[in-house]
């Protein structure tokens, strides 16, 4: 997921390089408040751990191996703000000591792997594991959280790469940086993480959380955060408000073509597709409710309805899983 130099234009990398500075500032301030002077060795060791975990070859299936990023694991162990600093430092060391990842793209790489991943991972973990869950639930929560976090980060990276042909090209249409549009870049990044790297991340995170839970459960104990869900709701609201951006992307997302589009692209419609294509009619097809004419408003309404349904479903599953669960004593404060 490391984006090297040259793939992102200055409009993108400069914004992310500047944006990451206040995030680091807030992270440093949050960490300092809770960890005091112990922060330096702990952050350094967190960074070292983050760096080294990427070097383990994890056997997956059929002799293939993969690498994990470990950002969700670090967020679960140290808290999301501490993970921001640890993973950022690991990425800076990788870029400056090993030349892995770019210099101008440091902001983008840190944003994707040291901000998006820890926060998505941590709050998904908190949402599923709750404040005092049993180990089995923590393990399951860490697996789901790490999977979603790396997929989310890969989609953000895909968007960063996919907007390059839109914002930086010559008069003749020659792309100046990453050449593939959103319809190619986002699915390309997301699919490899949905089908391979996401599973590696989940297997590693679940395995380590399970091992730590058995050996030293204090490492996984967290004091309930003051209002942990407040920021989650705010983030969700922000994402819902941003959904109309999707309307800006031209054409259909890669691989999501209808039978008609498939026919026009390849000259025929596969038999299976034409047979089963009409079996299910979505309630809100193409994220556009029939009674709303404005596509931007339609996207927004679809996002609100979809989020509400998913929350209700997750709430129901969590209520079912947590019936009768007792809280663990809280020992450490995650930051």
Partner 1 sequence: MTGEHDIAPARQARIRRPSLAHRTAWGIGRNIAEVLANEELAARQGFLQRIEPRVRLLAVLLFAVTASLLHSPWSLAAMLALAATLAAASQVRVRSFMRKVWGSAGIFVILLAAPAATRLVTPGRVLVSLGALSLTVPGVLGAVTLVLRVVAAAGIALLIVWTMRWNDLLSALSQLRLPDVIVATLAMAQKQIVSLMRTVEQIHLARESRTLSAGTTAENRDWVIGRMAFVVHKSVRTADEVYDAMLARGFDGTMRLLPRDRGRARDWFYLLAALTFCAAMMALDRGALR
Question: Which residues within the stretch 23-42 sit at the binding site for partner 1 (CB under 8 A)?
Answer: 24, 28, 32, 36-42
Please identify, using beta-carbon distances, which residue of 77 and 145 lies nearer to partner 1: 77
Q: Which residue in the set 116, 212, 222, 300 belongs to the binding site for partner 1 (CB under 8 A)?
A: 212
Please identify, using beta-carbon distances, which residue of 104 and 243 lies nearer to partner 1: 104
Q: Does 281 participate in binding partner 1 (rule CB under 8 A)?
A: no
Taking the complex as a whole, the smallest distance from the CB of residue 335 to partner 1 amounts, in Å, to 15
Question: Which residue, 108, 142, 131, is CA-closest to 221?
Answer: 131
Taking the complex as a whole, the smallest distance from the CB of residue 122 to partner 1 amounts, in Å, to 16
3-state secondary structure of 181: coil
Taking the complex as a whole, the smallest distance from the CB of residue 179 to partner 1 amounts, in Å, to 4
Q: Which residue in the set 18, 26, 33, 45 belongs to the binding site for partner 1 (CB under 8 A)?
A: 45
Please identify, using beta-carbon distances, which residue of 31 and 240 lies nearer to partner 1: 31
What is d(CA 101, CA 56) in angstroms, rounded to the nearest whole number?
A: 18
Taking the complex as a whole, the smallest distance from the CB of residue 169 to partner 1 amounts, in Å, to 8
Fill in the per-residue mask, 5 to 24: x = in contact with partner 1 (CB under 8 A), - = not in contact.
Answer: xxxxxx--x----------x
Q: Under rule CB under 8 A, which residues in 171-210 are in contact with partner 1?
A: 172-180, 184, 203-204, 207-208
Q: Does 250 participate in binding partner 1 (rule CB under 8 A)?
A: no
Q: Does 83 participate in binding partner 1 (rule CB under 8 A)?
A: no
Strand ranges inside 5-71, DSSP E: 58-59, 65-66
Q: Which one of 128-136, 140-148, 169-177, 319-327 is the stretch in contact with partner 1 (CB under 8 A)? A: 169-177
The torsion angle over the Cα atoms of residues 188, 53, 56 and 158, rounded to 10 degrees, is 10
Question: Which residue, 219, 232, 245, 199, is CA-closest to 311?
Answer: 232
User: No. of H helices and E strands in the chain?
Assistant: 14, 2
Q: Which residue in the set 16, 89, 108, 151 belongs to the binding site for partner 1 (CB under 8 A)?
A: 89
Please identify, using beta-carbon distances, which residue of 91 and 127 lies nearer to partner 1: 91
Q: Does 285 participate in binding partner 1 (rule CB under 8 A)?
A: no
Q: Are 132 and 326 in contact (CB under 8 A)?
A: yes
Q: Angle, to 10 degrees, between the axis of helix 117-129 and the axis of helix 295-321?
A: 50
Question: Which residue, 212, 243, 218, is CA-closest to 306?
Answer: 243
Taking the complex as a whole, the smallest distance from the CB of residue 6 to partner 1 amounts, in Å, to 4
DSSP helix, strand, coil percent of the chain (3-state; round to 5): 70, 0, 30
Q: Does 251 participate in binding partner 1 (rule CB under 8 A)?
A: no
Residues in CB range of 268: below 8 A, 6 or more apart = none
Q: Does 43 participate in binding partner 1 (rule CB under 8 A)?
A: yes
* Element housing 321 (H / E): helix 295-321
3-state secondary structure of 165: helix
């Amino acid at each position: 997921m490391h984006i090297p130099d040259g793939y992102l234009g200055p409009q993108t990398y400069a914004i992310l390089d500047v944006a990451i500075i206040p995030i680091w500032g807030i992270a440093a301030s949050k960490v300092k408040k809770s960890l005091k002077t112990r922060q330096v060795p702990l952050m350094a060791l967190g960074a070292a751990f983050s760096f080294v975990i990427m070097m383990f070859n994890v056997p997956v299936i059929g002799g293939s191996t993969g690498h994990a990023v470990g950002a969700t694991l670090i967020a679960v162990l140290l808290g999301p703000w501490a993970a921001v600093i640890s993973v950022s430092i690991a990425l800076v060391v990788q870029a400056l000591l090993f030349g892995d990842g770019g210099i101008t793209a440091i902001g983008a790489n840190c944003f994707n792997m040291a901000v998006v991943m820890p926060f998505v991972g941590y709050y998904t973990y908190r949402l599923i594991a709750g404040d005092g869950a049993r180990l089995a639930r923590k393990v399951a929560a860490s697996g789901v959280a790490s999977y979603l976090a790396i997929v989310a980060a890969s989609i953000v990276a895909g968007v960063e790469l996919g907007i390059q042909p839109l914002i930086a090209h010559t008069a003749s249409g020659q792309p100046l940086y990453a050449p593939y549009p959103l319809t190619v870049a986002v699915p390309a990044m997301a699919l490899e993480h949905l089908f391979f790297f996401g599973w590696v991340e989940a297997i590693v995170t679940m395995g380590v959380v399970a091992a730590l839970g058995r050996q030293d459960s204090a490492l996984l104990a967290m004091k309930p955060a003051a209002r942990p869900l407040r920021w989650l709701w705010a983030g969700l609201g922000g994402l819902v408000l941003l959904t109309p951006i999707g309307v800006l992307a031209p054409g259909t997302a890669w691989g999501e073509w209808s039978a008609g589009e498939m026919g026009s692209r390849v000259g025929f419609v596969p038999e299976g597709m034409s047979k089963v294509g009409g079996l299910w009619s979505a309630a809100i097809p193409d994220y556009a409710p029939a009674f709303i004419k404005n596509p931007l408003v339609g996207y927004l309404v679809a996002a609100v309805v979809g989020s509400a349904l998913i929350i209700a479903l997750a709430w129901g599953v969590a209520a079912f899983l947590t019936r009768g669960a007792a809280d663990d004593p809280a020992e450490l404060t995650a930051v």
